[in-house]
Amino acid sequence: MKPILSLLTALLLAPLAAVRAEDTTTLPAKPNILWIVMDDVGVEMPCYGEKAIQTPNIDRLVHEGTTFTRAFLTSPVCSTARSAMITGMYQTTIGANNHVSGRGPHRIELPAGVEPVTAVFHRAGYYTSNGDYPLKSKGIGKTDYNFEWDHKMYDGNDWAGRKSGQPFFAQIQLWGGKNRNGDGGWYRNEALKALGTLTKPEEVSLPPYYPRDPVLLEDWAQYLDCIRLCDKQVGEILKRLETEGILDQTLIILMGDNGISHARGKQFLYDEGVRTPFIVRGPGIARGAVRTDLIEHIDMAATSLAWADLPVPAWTQGCDVFSPDYQKRAAVFAARDRCGETVDRIRSVRTEQFKYICNFYPKRPLLQPSNYKDTKPIIVCLRELHAAGKLNELQEKLLFAPSRPSEELYDVEKDPFETVNLAGEPQYAAILGELRVRLNQWSLDTKDPAPESAETYDLEMRSQVSRTKDPAEKTNVLRNIDLMKQWAKEGK
């Protein structure tokens, strides 16, 4: 959806390189860096145009910081997006592009010289922490990296363990959209207790490719309440920083790790899956500014290092979006590969007006069998509606066509829900060709790897099956693995 930014319509747009505050006398020598990462949360919040809920604490960050309206993830699923986030590199370049990989007999090492930015901060004397919020154990918070890494790069799960005056680099992981679904018990009890009221399903707006079925409306209402809970937690974090007297010494970046977990969201390269909130508040950050330039979530690594006055390693593929030398991107890129047992390969390039998507397995349906997705009530409901012939023409075409176009092209300014594929229209042939070349060049420049080999897939699936404890789900995974291999033999 196009950003409405109702809270900010009276504000002038900031220049492309929003500058640090003119008065730098109050800037600490080493500011604290805090990343707040929301799980399974897209841009469905008031500062990006959502009207069904209110988020006063996120709105505070908006008013006191800089909001990016065109921020995108380089991957639409958590482990690959987080692997990219923590290194400041495309997950494809570092070989971490297959979801939940490198956990079993197949191990993945980062390219020579590359390391997580946490290690850079740790070596520079920062106290490094990573914790889920609220803290549920003494362990480190969600990492989900697809590569081998030294656990010693984290000092703890909370900056409270730092020495007096020691700056910190902290990550706080909010459960976000993962709080919904299940048996609904959390939503009916804990959410109501925490929020006081619940969003009414009949008041939510859905993308046009989802039917207004009670199951989907209830799910979307729960999702919006998950965002409200995130907002409450953001408020608690801000209050703690204020109480400790360090709010104005701390650079805060709020973002998500992928969009809403839905049929066309998480795991896919439509904006529902890869567009992310990106709000920055801190010493010297322009207040109440709105940035419309294209950025990628891997930029947060370089931006954080530069703000801490630490050298940005040459291997980092992101950039400091507040640098005086910052150059506006002409396009952003994203990639999706295997997710769990489900094999796919999709690449995209997006400019301000157009998005080009390349499907490398067009003979396969969008909603391939996937144990992760097929166990969700919303997907079960959609499949039942499809079987009963109760979906409209658009919903059938976009969700349940037996195959996909090899190329998709959308005018995202006129068609923000990406419903009209322009790839076959003669008047868009030049744009299609230009974006095809741009995507191919990006693949070459960033060393986009070949598809996972059959041998590596077998190793990864051995790990996948061993991690799946529920007998019924294990049966689903094994059946899906067999289907993936069959389709590969058939050239699908």
**CB neighbours of residue 23 within 10 Å:** 8
pLDDT at 1: 39
Asked if omega into 405 is within 30° of 0 (cis), the reply is no
Q: Where in the chain is the domain with CATH 3.30.1120?
A: 336-451
In angstroms, the Cα distances linking 31 to 87, 127, 247, 345 are 20, 12, 10, 40
For residues 222 and 211, give the distance between their C-alpha atoms in angstroms, rounded to a whole number.
16
pLDDT at 190: 79
pLDDT at 226: 95
The angle that helices 78-87 and 299-307 make with each other, rounded to 10 degrees, is: 30
At the second CATH level, the architecture of 336-451 is 2-Layer Sandwich (3.30)
Note down pLDDT in tens along the chain; length 492 residues. Answer: 333 344 333 333 333 333 343 333 344 579 999 999 999 999 999 999 999 999 999 999 999 999 999 999 999 999 999 999 999 999 999 999 999 999 999 999 999 999 999 999 999 999 999 999 988 788 999 999 999 999 999 999 999 999 999 999 999 999 999 988 655 666 777 788 899 999 999 999 999 999 999 999 999 999 999 999 999 999 999 999 999 999 999 999 999 999 999 999 999 999 999 999 999 999 999 999 999 999 999 999 999 999 999 999 999 999 999 999 999 999 999 999 999 999 999 999 999 999 999 999 999 999 999 999 999 999 999 999 999 999 999 999 999 999 999 999 999 999 999 999 999 999 999 999 999 999 999 999 999 999 999 999 999 999 999 999 999 999 999 999 999 999 999 999
Residue type (1 letter), 376: K
Q: Of the candidates 57, 45, 64, which has an alpha carbon nearest to the alpha carbon of residue 6?
A: 45
Q: Do the beta carbons of residue 147 and residue 108 sit within 8 Å?
A: yes
Q: Where in the chain is the domain with CATH 3.40.720.10?
A: 6-329
Q: What is the pTM of this model?
A: 0.94
Query: 6-329 belongs to which CATH class?
Result: alpha beta
Residues 6+ away with beta carbon under 8 Å from 154: 118, 122, 128, 129, 130, 140
